[in-house]
Chains A and B, each alone.
Chain A
């Protein structure tokens, strides 16, 4: 009887995982076919156009010297497609981190063990997405800025967010008492979460090299694959989270059974 109730969300999660995988793949293919594909070869831009086009879609190096009044540069054609992975990963990581902080607050007010477990698993999934963002971001930075890493505001605050998540797990491992571990981890999760909005809004406050996606505007043909990829990514995040929660509950059940047999 009880088993049926547990299995249903897991079935949904598996379906969502498949649908999410399909959607992100579809978005990637759409980006090549229906979106405004950056054409092969070089383009000519005036200096002013080049400076104005520093968006995610046309990253013209503004420091190039104009030849005959125009700038010739090789348009990013393939590397730009990382956008349809990188940004959905990043947005999903902020969202899932917020979920983790929400469960931490819930734990502190209700003291139910399950909230702590949920907070920890949300943190794990968020960390996975942060690492994915970092890897895709690094590749993209190399392709469009010509370097692997740059200490600019968004990258710096995001790196700090990643370190804080890492420290969260180190902290959990260094406390033996279960209740104290849950308490400290929740407190640290809330304090660490303060960096998430800072990282999210910093490119809107401080002028930085990292483009602000939603301010620069997007053509509909680019927006559609982006939204498809974003929805798919959130589905994958939710699916991983649900499956992990199910796994954790089963593990705890096993512990209880073991304890009962020993007694």
Chain B
């Protein structure tokens, strides 16, 4: 039984589409809602994700004080505020993404999902939207906290409206949750687990973070002509989001299959 040199791997590509998820006639929208509901119900019962992510974000903010404590009174914190805020969110989101997928694998839920007649892309969107919701909830209370701790004494007369920062946060979070779900699903099946997630996540997210931090920074500082730059950066970030989520959506099937 000699192996051949170039063999086709056992998991062959599907030659014809599987039978439509079928006999039960459950629409994609209902499957999506079921996966999302599962995540939210687990969260409501254990409150594990939100508390751990929130506490972690709070600790990151506290540790920022060490960097800023010796900056002196002339230092304008708002010049680096957007970067600090997004840094806290990136670290927090890595924690959350890892947890959300580790649970799925540890408790055998992912296998059950794969056995059930659900289209693979719907699993991706269900998990990604769940992660997005948890991330947004954490942001909703971390961002005001960040303002109170670091920016309440800053001179911010020129700053743009708050909804601009909110847009930057939402665009950033969509990208983080979308691509993060794909990378987290990959990393839970490797030896490194959370280490692999952070190592893959940071370089892939880099262009997106650069764009959203630039946008949020423009809104916070409000230098002349900031509105134009803000929208340019948001457009770049949205394009990157669309590209990356499209790729993740198309490739998620292969990750689940392996």
Chain A residues in the interface with B (C-beta under 8 A): 108-114, 156-157, 160, 163-164, 167, 170-171, 174-177, 179-180, 182-184, 186-188, 190-192, 194-195, 198, 249, 252-253, 256, 259-260, 263
> Is B228 interfacial (CB 8 A cutoff)?
no
A108 touches B254 (CB 8 A): yes
Task: Report Cα–Cα, A109/B254, bound state, in Å.
Answer: 10
26 residue pairs of the A-B complex, CB under 8 angstroms, read: A108-B251, A111-B12, A111-B13, A112-B8, A112-B9, A164-B204, A167-B199, A167-B200, A170-B196, A171-B196, A175-B190, A176-B191, A179-B9, A179-B11, A183-B254, A183-B257, A184-B189, A184-B190, A187-B182, A187-B186, A188-B186, A190-B247, A191-B204, A249-B5, A252-B5, A256-B2
The answer for the CA separation of A177 and B11 in the assembled complex, in Å, is 13
> Which one of A113, A160, A187 lies within 8 Å of B207 (CB-CB)?
A160
Answer yes or no: B10 CB below 8 A from chain A CBs. Answer: yes
Tell whether, in the assembled complex, residue B207 and residue A188 are in contact, meaning their CB atoms are under 8 Å apart. Answer: no
**Residues of chain A lying within 8 A (CB to CB) of residue B204:** 164, 191-192
In the bound assembly, the distance between CA atoms of A183 and B243 in angstroms comes to: 21
Q: Which 5 residue pairs spanning A and B have beta carbons closest together?
A: A183-B258, A114-B6, A174-B190, A180-B258, A174-B191
Any chain A CB within 8 A of the CB of B66? Answer: no
B residues 199-237 near A (Cβ < 8 Å) are 199-200, 203-204, 206-207, 210
Nearest CB to that of A192 among chain B residues? B204
What chain A residues lie within 8 Å of B200 (beta carbons)?
167, 171, 188
Tell which of B5, B182, B254 touches A256, judged by Cβ atoms closer than 8 Å. B5
Given known A-B contacts A171-B190, A180-B258, A198-B207, A191 and B9 have beta carbons under 8 A apart: no
In the complex, whether B71 has a CB less than 8 A from a CB of chain A is no
A179 lies within 8 A of B258 (CB): yes
* Cβ-defined contact, A174 with B192, below 8 A: yes
CB of B20 closer than 8 Å to a CB of A:
no
Number of B positions contacting A (CB below 8 A): 36
| Pairwise interchain contact A190-B3, C-beta atoms closer than 8 A | no
Nearest-neighbor residue (CB-CB) of A177 within chain B: B258
Chain B residues in the interface with A (C-beta under 8 A): 1-3, 5-13, 179, 182, 186, 189-192, 196, 199-200, 203-204, 206-207, 210, 243-244, 247-248, 251, 254-255, 257-258
Measured CB to CB, the closest approach of chain B to A166, in angstroms, equals: 9
Residue numbers in B under 8 Å from A182 (CB-CB):
9
Which of A164, A184, A249, A263 contacts B1 (CB under 8 A)?
A263
Q: Which residues of B contact A184 (CB under 8 A)?
A: 186, 189-190, 255, 258
The reply to whether B191 and A191 contact each other, CB–CB distance below 8 Å, is no
C-alpha gap A109/B13 in the complex (Å)? 7
Chain B residue at smallest Cβ distance from A117 = B6
Contact between chains at A111 and B11 (CB < 8 Å) = yes
A112 touches B6 (CB 8 A): yes
Does B199 lie within 8 Å of A187, measured CB to CB? no
Chain A residues lying within 8 Å of B251, measured Cβ to Cβ, are 108, 187, 190-191
Chain B residues with CB under 8 A of A188: 186, 200
Chain B hits for A253, CB < 8 A? 5
Residues of A within 8 A of B244 (CB): 191, 194
Q: Least Cβ distance of B167 to chain A in Å? A: 21
Does A191 contact B2, Cβ atoms closer than 8 Å? no
- Rounded to whole angstroms, the CA-CA distance of A171 and B189 in the bound complex is 11
Partner of A175, one of B7, B12, B189: B189
A163–B13 Cα gap in the complex (Å)?
Answer: 31
Q: Which of A188, A190, A198, A263 has the most CB atoms of chain B within a 10 A radius of its CB?
A: A188
Give complex CA distance A184, B7 in Å: 18
* CB-based nearest B residue for A168: B200
Task: Tell me the nearest residue of chain A to B255, going by C-beta.
Answer: A187
Q: Which A residues touch B6, using CB under 8 A?
A: 112-114
- Among A110, A170, A177, A192, point to the contact of B199 (Cβ < 8 A): A170
> Within 8 Å CB of B179, what residues of A?
191
Chain A residues near B257 (CB-CB < 8 A): 183
- A160/B206 contact (C-beta < 8 A), A113-B9, A179-B11 known: yes
Known A156-B210, A184-B186, A194-B247; further 10 A-B contacts with Cβ < 8 A: A112-B6, A113-B6, A114-B5, A160-B206, A174-B192, A175-B190, A183-B257, A191-B244, A256-B3, A256-B5
